[in-house]
Structure 1
Amino acid sequence: MLDLRPPENLVSSRAVLYWAARAALGWLVPLAAEVLWQRFGDVGLPVTILLIATAVLALAHVIVMPEWRYRVHRWETTPDVVYTQSGWFNQERRIAPVSRIQTVDTERGPIERIFGLANLTVTTASARGPVRIHALDFTTAQRIAAELAARTQASVGDAT
């Protein structure tokens, strides 16, 4: 039986840069819109204050969130279960028995490919939905997917 300690493995250390890059890209549109509004609109001090506040929030988000998520996001597989912990404000731990696994998938978006990362999705017969491990090293994700697929094949049961 697995106790409710945090899972052993951290995600890839490159996840910090990946999450920072994604956050920075998300802030580009509002910052650009505010810069254009200030530059070409008939505005005064309120828009300047809004731009400064947005820039401070963006900077805090890009610096704090990736490190925070890296410290929280963990995963572990055993012969019997897949165990994950994720989130940053709302943190969640999930345990999925290998005998309940239906599919194991890896996914890589364009930014993940740049950082050599992949996401692993373990679909089970749970109404709660799949178990996801984000920001794994690509080779680790492939290895874990192959191991879980092999364990699933060897497991007695019908994954329902």
Structure 2
Amino acid sequence: MEQLAQQEKIKEKVYGKQKIYFADQEQFPTISDPELKQLDAQVSELNSQVQSAQLSCQQLETELKELNSSMTTEDMMREIKDLKEECSKYQQKLDKMKSAANHVTPEEKEKVYSERKQFCKEWKKRKRMATDIFDAILEGYPKSKKQFFEEVGVETDEDYNVSPPDI
């Protein structure tokens, strides 16, 4: 910096132990107001070009990220091959199921559903009867319902988080 100051390309000011260097304003040509306005217009035009170039760059970077995150052609071909193999396995399994001789007839199906319905009704009926009996016993019992069940050894549906299904 001192060398540039000696060559009078920049100016130097000394403030105690500190030195400050700055550009020599006299070496720059004087610019008129119209020229300054023209330069300002050029600066704003160049700024707008920079902004549009940055926007374009961002769009291209986004597109590049999308393309890099997508599968390559080889990966896609491998995936298609794997899916076709899986599809053929499922097709074979479906064909086996269709050709199986152990189909359930509609009559058998209806019989199973009616038995299920009957058993569910019976379950609810018996649960209601047991609840009525327990309530009658508990009217004169000095301890809580939970303590009574523990003493007698009763296990309820609620202990196992089950309930009779809706019919």
TM-score normalised per structure 2 = 0.26
Question: Bigger radius of gyration, 1 or 2?
Answer: 2
Higher strand share: 1
TM-score normalised per structure 1 = 0.27
Higher helix share: 2
